[in-house]
Amino acid sequence: MTTTLRPEGPETPTTAGGRTRRWQIRANGRPVGALRTTSVPRGNQLWGEIAELEVHEGRGRGRGTIGALAAEEVLRGWGCSRVDVDVPESAQAARGLAATLGYTERMRNMAKRLTVAPELPTGAVARRIGPEDFPGWLAEAKQGYLRDLRASGLSERQARAKSDADHVHLLPQGADTPGVALRRLYGDGPDPLGALWLALRVRDLPDGSPLAWVMVVEVAEAHRGHGHGRTLMLLAERECLAAGVHDLGLNVFTGNEVAIRLYDSLGYRVTNRVYGKPLI
């Protein structure tokens, strides 16, 4: 039996400057599943994504495996240097397939439904990061992001390309970017204890309500281990509810066990896991 990919529709450009195409998985010429390949520019590189993978006939016969391997060849042909797959937490079979094909878990998406604005600890004060403070904060945020990207398995070149591209895309107007909350946390002293970057509407949920996203929570090195990360997360929840947003999500890199324990304790639950591997 021969399993192949056939285009289901035309290749189309993406708003980010990449390309995407939906494919049929065919066994002896008969459609048995489908998937989508997408290339995403990251600085001077292209990253690939495999999404919407489904096998609706003949599961357990390796058709998903062959489809995914064929999709990787498509992405190589498009010039992608690595590939990521985003797997829902409930899709255990897909997680097993990713592991079989040599993908490793890089990060997790977690989310929480917000109802009541939490109180901040006594003495905790949040101040906006304005244009005068933005360059210094951005340099610190980039360094932290680079460390996390490298720890998740990216090369130095890949990490820098992704970091530069993401910050330009997500903060096009710096501190004045609409829909963004940039805050520093202070206590009794003059030095900031940490910082928060919150996007108040990254997308809409199926019911049309907005989903906010924690982009960065960073505690100053000299002040770690004193619960300030928890305070910053409580601040994020307060900012969301003040803006009328009741759903908050975040990414956490798999190796950051301290952060994962914090988010678990605050009621965040895993919704998706991101797996990746190099293509060259």
The tens digit of pLDDT for each residue in 25-83 reads 999 889 999 999 999 998 788 999 999 999 988 777 889 999 999 999 999 999 999 99
**pLDDT for 150 beyond 80:** yes
At residue 57, the pLDDT reads: 86
The domains found in the chain, sorted by start residue, are: 3-80 (no CATH), 112-273 (3.40.630.30)
Mean pLDDT over 97-105 rounds to: 94
Longest dimension (CA), the chain: 71
pLDDT band at 1 (very low <50, low <70, confident <90, very high): low
Mean pLDDT over 218-231 rounds to: 95
Q: Where do the H-state alpha helices sit in 83-151? A: 92-100, 134-151
Give the range among 152-161, 207-216, 247-256, 263-272 with minimum mean pLDDT.
152-161
**pLDDT for 242 beyond 80:** yes
Q: Return d(Cα 12, Cα 252) in angstroms, integer.
A: 31
Q: Return d(Cα 186, Cα 94) in angstroms, integer.
A: 44
Q: Return d(Cα 123, Cα 214) in angstroms, integer.
A: 23
* Closest-CA residue to 143 (of 128, 156, 131, 130): 156
Mean pLDDT over 236-254 rounds to: 97
